[in-house]
Amino acid sequence: MWRSRLMLFMLFIAFAALVLRALWIQGPGNAFYEAKAVKGTQRELEMSARRGKILDRNGQVIATSLEAKAVIAYNDTIPKDLSDEKIKQLANLLQMREADVRKKLKDERNQVFLKRQVDPVVAQQIRKLEIPGIGLNNEFRRFYPEGEAMAHVVGFTNVEDRGQEGMELSRENDLAASTGKRRVVVDRLGRIVEDMGVLQLPQNGKDLKLSVDSKIQYIAYNALKDAVEKHRAKAAGAVVINVQTGEILALANWPSYNPNDRKILSGEQLRNRVMTDTFEPGSTIKPFTVALAMEKGQVNPNTVMAIGAKYLVGPKPITDTHPYPSLTVAEVIQKSSNIGTSKLAMNMPASEMWDLFTAVGFGQTPKVGFPGAVAGRVHPHQKWMPTDQARIAFGYGISTSLFQMARAYTIFARDGELVPVTIEHSPDYKPGTRVISAKTAIEMRSMLESVTEPGGTALKAHAEGYRVGGKTGTAHKVAGKGYASNKYLAYFTGIAPMSAPRIVVAVMVDEPTANGYYGGQVAAPIFSTIVSETLRAMNVAPDSAVKNMVQRDDAIKPGQTAPIQRVVLTQ
């Protein structure tokens, strides 16, 4: 009897508990469960927007965004008893370790990115797994069609689609897209069953058209790559500037990297040496010292100077590679005489040298809108000792970037005007800032051309079909508190074509260790390749004399195949 009463009492207690629970859910607990249901079925999804494309001067795409998917785990809806097989399949598709996937699925946050920028085909396979709580969201990943050749110009973005290097970084505000938001209702598998509306509209980024030409960039990059292999050098850089518009047509570095695959990336590969590295420019700076002396009326190209074997300024004598008893001022440039340049420098106030160097941009941060561009170093002239002035005249005790040197040479190409330089497409003629007279600039062009002719230091700078001019440079690398005796930097900066200058090209090779180390041996041939191929790509007419090299038919011996007829343009 007592057992029946006990059972009835227990049933009464259980029934009462159920009634109280039901009353609580319908009453005070209603809001809690309603909020939980809404939280489990409603989500705010990002509406992706496309980052602006980067184009070269011809409209060719050099950076664009491709559709991709973000794989998201909504951990509040993922089943606790999700099978090991499903997790393994998910990890395989994501190319992640199974342990890493499990760790993310146990994250306390309700929403966790398992992986971003997943290929849409892979994302579709993940969807077919039908794992509750695994969602896919639209996004984009950046693609760089020109690969390593254009890497230091365009840079790259991170997984958040924000610029990290190059133009992707410097023009982030223009290129960046603004994502939107929308609220949706999803089922237990994470599929959208109702779109509740847009909360914020997405906005695509702006396209950016650069001044670089993909063809010329490829020419410069390949020329550097070949030279580094030939001379077993550490690195190299080159920049090409249109002297009429001030546009950068090419800016190449070696070593480079593939911005589409950055799994293995070193600081050496990332360095944009053209813009961020400074060096003592060596003899490439001599034309500025000589031009100042001519500008002051102290000398002209035909003025004969006594040179000699040594020139003593301070405790260490200044010498030339080859001693000369005397040289004309033009020959000082052609032979690259340290003594001749120093003697000209010591005959003028230090302040006037400093004024010219700063006027052409040395020691000034370039305003070209490129990240990391450096100012170099030109100490105040008040601190120059006589020995400083003498050596600065031929490129020691001063530092510049390769870009600064190229821009400075525009004063010789543009009849004395320094051209404003830009990386953005801007094809109109640009007025420059006058630094020296047109007469001095034209005379200097003639002297620079003699450097590439017999008797000069850069015969290998000769470009087939075009008259060229420029200046070699070879400098010891700085090591510790002095100079390394066996480490060199080889340079060449020049102009072409000389009859009507269109481009300035500056080349640098870092630590060549084979087949020579002088600028005329190492850097001048790179200049030659870049100039001849660039001017043809720009459809610039040859300006040197034409020599017909077509072989006569009677010169072909019986049984011999006739060679392909060609015309070689020579000076």
Cα–Cα distance for residue pair 562/428, rounded to 1 Å: 47
Query: Token match 């002088």: residue?
Result: 518
Inter-residue contact 242 to 249 (CB < 8 Å): yes
φ and ψ at residue 396, rounded to 5 degrees: -115, 145
Q: Which one, of 137, 150, 123, 136, lies nearest residue 64 by Cα?
A: 150
CA atoms 426, 431, 437, 442: torsion sign: positive
**Nearest to 70, CA basis, from 16, 127, 26:** 127
Measured distance CA(413)–CA(405) in Å, rounded: 13
For 103-124, the three-class secondary structure string (H helix, E strand, C coil) is: HHHCCCCCEEEEEEEECHHHHH
Distance CA 545, CA 524 (A): 21
Whole-angstrom Cα distance, residue 329 to residue 335? Answer: 10
> 226, 509 in Cβ contact below 8 A?
no
Residue 326 tokens read as 């005397």
Active-site position among 48, 214, 283, 450:
283
CA dihedral for 87, 44, 137, 97, sign (positive or negative): negative
Q: Which of 521, 409, 419 is nearest to 469 (CA)?
A: 409
For 32, what's the count of Cα atoms within 13 Å in the CB-facing half-sphere? 6
Q: Is the dihedral of CA 443, 444, 450, 455 positive or negative?
A: positive
Nearest in space to 566 (alpha carbons), one of 553, 550, 555: 550
Angle between helices 2-26 and 30-41 (to 10 degrees): 60
User: Which residues are CB-neighbours of 133 under 8 A, at least 6 positions away?
Assistant: 73, 74, 75, 76, 77, 78, 79, 190
CB atoms within 10 A of CB 521: 19
Element of type H or E holding 339: helix 338-345
CA–CA–CA angle 293, 308, 471 (5° rounding): 50
283 is catalytic: yes
What is the amino acid identity at position 267? G
CB 41 within 8 A of CB 185: yes
239 near 246, Cβ under 8 Å?
A: no
Buried b (16+ CB within 10 A) or exposed e, 482-516: eeeeebbbbbbbbbbbbeebbbbbbbbbbbbeeeb
The residue count of the chain comes to 571
- The first and second tokens of residue 135, run together, are 């969602």
Catalytic residues: 283
